Amino acid sequence: MNIRKTFILIGWVAGCTGSSAQDTVRYTGKTLSNVDYHHGQLSPAMGVHNIQTMRANRGDNNDITSWTYNHAPMLVYWNNSFYLEYLSNPVGEHIAPGQTLLQRSKDGYSWDAPVVIFPPYRIPDGFVKPGKMDTAKNSYAVMHQRIGFYTSKSKRLYALAYYGIALAKGDDPNDGNGIGRVIREIKTDGNFGKIYFLRYNHSFDEKNTSYPFYKSSNDKELITACEEILATPLLMMQTVEEADRNDPLIPLQKEFKAFSYYHLPNGNVAGFWKYALTSISKNEGRTWQYSPTRAPGFVNANAKFWGQRTSDGKYATVYNPSEFRWPLALSVSDNGLNYKNLLLVNGEITFMRYGGAYKSYGPQYVRGIQELDGKPADGSMWVTYSMNKEDIWVSKILVPVKAMESRHINEDFANPLAIQNWNLYSPLWCRVSIDNKALTLRDSDPFDYARAERVFPQSKKVRVEFLVTPRQNDFGVLEFELLDDKGTPCLRLMIDSTGNILTKQGYRNKSLGKFNPGESLKIKLELNTTTRFYSVTINEGKPNNNLCFAPVESVERISFRTGGTRRFPDADTPTDQDYDLPNADSKSKEAVYLIHYLKTSAIE
């Protein structure tokens, strides 16, 4: 959709008020995000684990991870495994060639290297779009899809993708003038079936395409699966942007983007589109009660909006609650219509290492596992998204969703399950894991960091104790912070790259002592937020008294982070980054920190 059409749509949506008297999804909570902070000043949903599955690196010697535009991931759970599909271009959005890649994981934490499932596709020489002048010559398609998987009624898994055409700068591959949608079976042994066209755009058919039409297959199961898809309005609605504009199999032939849905307790379907548009269907998506209208109270812009029923019988929506593509947050509803809270899923934005066309900052284009595509055995909610349209991530969200901790913490990591209530940010080069009965933070990424947070009961007076072992003292950094419900730190301790233990005192840092590699540091903090004083005791030594560098009313979580605070980008950062960062392909020497236990308690 071009800019003019987008503004027309926004104006039309803003002017629609009829949904207020209709059965509709709405947000009734009072919490809103603040885009001046990457985390939006939102309290986290407890126990969210953010895991990077693919990190782009142009220095890799391949045509997979060296491609630096990676976006629009999709997720499915099948055969006791997660499968993740995403599209990829060498540099920027809609700039050919395009391909679609697949990753697999048994547990959602360790992911196989991506493999090509739909390779670059050659456009026939001489092709010209209706009404255009640009002519294809040695040209390749780009890929774009809003639906990536289908689990058939016979329990086979199929990958779906779409080949579009963008022959010149600004050309839209989703204008209905592309090539068509393809399908391919993912087999239990890890192999793939042949690629077939599921549905063509109007200029293409069996005679001028490189893959056969599905009806020519000898695989009856494949043919049946294709016809199941074509006969299911809730699936066909997800193809509206790329398909022919008058495709009779698409119920709502309007330019509403990125459809997702779930079933309400009464059997009706709640549908969602970008801009938090919503409507209700009483007949499985064949017709809709009203034209999609912005869900009252929800904030969302031109980014995907995901909703699903969770394993506890409630509902959750995950989206960017701002006019930007950060933070990534969720809301919870008891009945699928009334959403009452707003909690943080991922509030980090790593540096965009490689510039490229239309590469937006932030964790974005979220997509979960649709109703037909399996349920993870652990009952958690899993979603996937891209970071900066560059790297691919998943998030495991603990169900039931919890925002507050009722008991103080006394945890060691002899039991690996102790990590389940921690909030983790775990890039591939900065892994957070349980190793040797310790919560281990590793960091070899010059552009990112590892982070682990633990929520504890909201406190004005609190005692915090932990044992940490840095493996080195001449590189790396580990920062500890106590934060309030908006993510504001009041104090910060640092184990730095010069062997010093520091605490932040206003503009300056104050030394609390030295440390040696491999030496375990028993650190005790006692904080009074009313007086703003805190004391630090290291290895049972003499308490060191300090003043908080920022006032807060109370604190409710501790953060361990292998890097400094990030504030770039912000709301005033230019939209498109057209440059690469220096040494963008580089990797640092790995710093390692072990946290052995954490205890918190109230001070009477």
**Predicted confidence (pLDDT) at residue 16 exceeds the cutoff of 50:** no
**Predicted confidence (pLDDT) at residue 8 exceeds the cutoff of 80:** no
**Predicted confidence (pLDDT) at residue 348 exceeds the cutoff of 60:** yes
CA 165, CA 251: separation in Å to the nearest integer?
24
**Predicted confidence (pLDDT) at residue 17 exceeds the cutoff of 70:** no
Eight-state DSSP code of residue 371: T
**pLDDT one-digit tens code per residue, 168-204:** 988 999 999 999 999 999 999 999 999 999 999 999 9
**Predicted confidence (pLDDT) at residue 554 exceeds the cutoff of 50:** yes
Lowest average pLDDT, out of 14-28, 141-155, 227-241, goes to 14-28
CA 24, CA 3: separation in Å to the nearest integer?
28
Q: Where are the alpha helices (DSSP H) in 220-295?
A: 220-230, 233-236
* pLDDT at res. 22: 64
* pLDDT at res. 416: 87
β-bridge partners, 504: 509
Confidence label for 211 from pLDDT (cuts 50, 70 and 90): very high
CA 428, CA 413: separation in Å to the nearest integer?
22
Cα torsion 208, 214, 219, 220: sign: negative
**pLDDT one-digit tens code per residue, 300-337:** 999 999 999 999 999 999 999 999 999 999 999 999 99
Q: Which residue has the tokens 């042949």?
A: 194
Task: Provide the 10 A C-beta neighbour count for residue 220.
Answer: 9
Confidence label for 1 from pLDDT (cuts 50, 70 and 90): very low
* pLDDT at res. 23: 86
**pLDDT one-digit tens code per residue, 427-486:** 999 999 999 899 999 999 999 999 999 999 999 999 999 999 999 999 999 999 999 999
Confidence label for 5 from pLDDT (cuts 50, 70 and 90): very low
**Predicted confidence (pLDDT) at residue 166 exceeds the cutoff of 60:** yes
Q: Residues 6 or more apart from 361 whose CB is under 8 A from it?
A: 324, 325, 326, 349, 352, 388, 569, 573, 577
Average pLDDT over residues 401-422: 94
pTM of the model: 0.95
Average pLDDT over residues 35-61: 97
**Predicted confidence (pLDDT) at residue 11 exceeds the cutoff of 80:** no
Q: Which residue has the tokens 């440390």?
A: 515
Confidence label for 15 from pLDDT (cuts 50, 70 and 90): very low
Q: Which residue has the tokens 């009624």?
A: 153
* pLDDT at res. 552: 98
β-bridge partners, 356: none
* pLDDT at res. 7: 42
Q: Which two tokens stand for residue 365?
A: 């284009």
CA 518, CA 236: separation in Å to the nearest integer?
58
β-bridge partners, 468: 521, 595
Q: Is 533 left (phi over 0), alpha (psi -120 to 50) or beta?
A: beta
* pLDDT at res. 178: 97
Contact 454, 447 (CB under 8 A): no
Confidence label for 551 from pLDDT (cuts 50, 70 and 90): very high
CA 108, CA 95: separation in Å to the nearest integer?
30
Average pLDDT over the chain reads 95
Eight-state DSSP code of residue 239: G
Instruction: Name the nearest CA neighbour of 525 among 440, 593, 459.
Output: 459
Residue type present at position 138: N
Domains of the chain: 3-397 (2.120.10), 410-602 (2.60.120.200)
CA 179, CA 158: separation in Å to the nearest integer?
19
**Predicted confidence (pLDDT) at residue 9 exceeds the cutoff of 70:** no
Q: Residues 6 or more apart from 358 whose CB is under 8 A from it?
A: 92, 93, 94, 389, 576
**pLDDT one-digit tens code per residue, 252-289:** 988 899 999 999 999 999 999 999 999 999 999 999 99
